[in-house]
Amino acid sequence: MKRILQFVILSGIFAALACAGVSCSDYLGRVDDEEQTDQGDGSGEGNTPSEGDGSGEGNTPGEGDGSGEGNTPGEGTASGVKGWYELPYINDKDGNGIDDDNPNLVYASHSFQMGGRKYRNYTVCFSTEHHCPVWVAAPRHACYSEKNVKRTDAYKADPVIEKLAPGMQYLDEKIGDKDKDKDKDKDKDCNRGHMLGSAERLCSAEANRQVFHYSNIAPQLSAGFNTGGGGWNLLEDYMDEQVPADTLYEVIGCYFDTYVDGYGKKAEKKKLSKYCGRSDVSFPTMFYYAVLRTKNGNTHKALKDCTSDELRCVAFVRAHSNSLKGQDPSSRELMSISDLERLTGITYFPNVPQAPKDSFTPSDWGL
């Protein structure tokens, strides 16, 4: 694998951890600097932590220590993590963190330390054109959500994205100031919506702080979408119920062209007049979850060892609209992963070639 540019240290980060009925600290593997094409989910053969965890062939230590430039724990480009099951295709063969064909797309990965060990948190594709995340990919397992800490509200620029694309993230320096951090400093209709939610990373303060990076934040309508009973909040709650004893692999994404969803709700393409110190942030017209897991939910098997019949995947797709407030998830918002790929142009779950991306059964998802 080619080395990354000198200004960003290759992340020797992220040990996979997703294992049925086991705490975070019980399941950790090694990472290395090889491209991982046989990534497991942390359980590996016989549930041994050093197998099937993204270590790749040979289980050699990574080139870096996950510190990233400036010794910030667990921050680096997405180089060396390309085999993880949750990841969409990352077009970055030279490993510099910038898309090989579209320089407006940059990639970063984040991990966190807990009990002297490293765990992967999430990987992001960020658009400097939209000043917004395109997708955030992450594993979901009960151990990530163990309530060991409180919400940190540690909003700040993603340090990796800032190195790759200086000045392209939100600029609101008042974030974190409880007296001044009101909607008057943001677009009047939108608040700061998490892609990967804060409640999904409460196992450590570091993990929670990372989900407040701007690269994981998108503008979301505050009246009926990202609020109590809002369309997005209800979908987030529903996705919490889909996390099995095995791991749920998810991609949370934004779409920016005019979109009409399965409920007939329409969102128009536009720029926000003011959002977190900028006047050029794109309004996401649609948000989605693309999710993959085992059917049984308690197999203790790495996905590479599962057949297509043992897996299920689907996309939950909602227009960015206040009118979805109070709308519980239904089969009307489901879409096959293949159809989502045709819509967004993104390839999902390329490291699970047997994933049944062309079909889905609503009842598998309780709908």
pLDDT bracket for residue 180 (50, 70, 90): very low
pTM of the entire predicted model? 0.81
Tell me the pLDDT tens digit for each residue of 225-280: 999 999 999 999 999 999 999 999 999 999 999 999 999 999 999 999 889 999 99
What is the tens place of the pLDDT at every residue in 30-87?
Answer: 222 222 333 333 322 222 222 233 322 222 222 222 333 333 446 777 665 678 999 9
Non-local CB neighbours of 365 within 8 Å, separated by 6+ positions: 242, 312, 314, 334
Which of 16-30, 68-82, 178-192, 213-227 is modeled with the greatest confidence? 213-227
Residue 110: its pLDDT value, please? 96
Among residues 87, 84, 80, the alpha carbon closest in space to that of 63 is found at: 80
CA 42 – CA 300 distance, rounded (Å): 9
Residue-wise pLDDT tens digits, 93-136 = 999 999 999 999 999 999 998 888 888 999 999 999 999 999 99
Q: What is the dihedral of CA 232, 207, 38, 98, to 10 degrees?
A: 80
The arithmetic mean of pLDDT across residues 18-40, rounded, is 31
> Cα separation of 103 and 127, whole Å?
9
Instruction: Specify the higher pLDDT residue, 189 or 193.
Output: 193
Q: How many CA atoms lie within 13 A of 64 on its CB side?
A: 29
- Are 28 and 203 in contact by the 8 Å Cβ rule? The answer is no
Kind plus residue range of the DSSP H or E element containing 217: strand 217-221
Q: What are phi and psi of 341, to 5 degrees?
A: -60, -40
The enclosing H or E element of 111 equals strand 105-114
- Positive or negative, the CA dihedral 67, 72, 78, 83 is positive
Residues 180, 108: Cα–Cα separation, whole Å: 30
Asked whether the beta carbons of 246 and 298 are under 8 A apart, the reply is yes
